[in-house]
């Protein structure tokens, strides 16, 4: 599994992992935004 700039493995949203998988090939900014949005 490719590692992003943020450890989404700690995110309690399994669907987020699928989103990261597709966004991982795109801008990392979107990945950070998703992680920050899901973070408390």
| Residue-level pLDDT at 21 | 47
Taking the CB of residue 8, how many other CB atoms lie within 10 A of it? 21
Residue range 1-40, pLDDT digits in tens: 454 444 444 455 555 554 444 444 555 555 555 555 554 5
Q: At what angle do helices 14-23 and 28-38 cross, to 10 degrees?
A: 170
| Residue-level pLDDT at 15 | 54
| Residue-level pLDDT at 1 | 45
What is each CA distance from 27 to 12, 37, 40, in whole angstroms? Answer: 22, 16, 23
């Amino acid at each position: 599994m490719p590692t992003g700039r943020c450890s989404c493995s700690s995110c309690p949203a399994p669907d987020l992992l699928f989103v990261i998988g597709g966004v991982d090939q795109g801008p990392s900014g979107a990945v950070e935004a998703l992680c920050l949005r899901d973070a408390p």
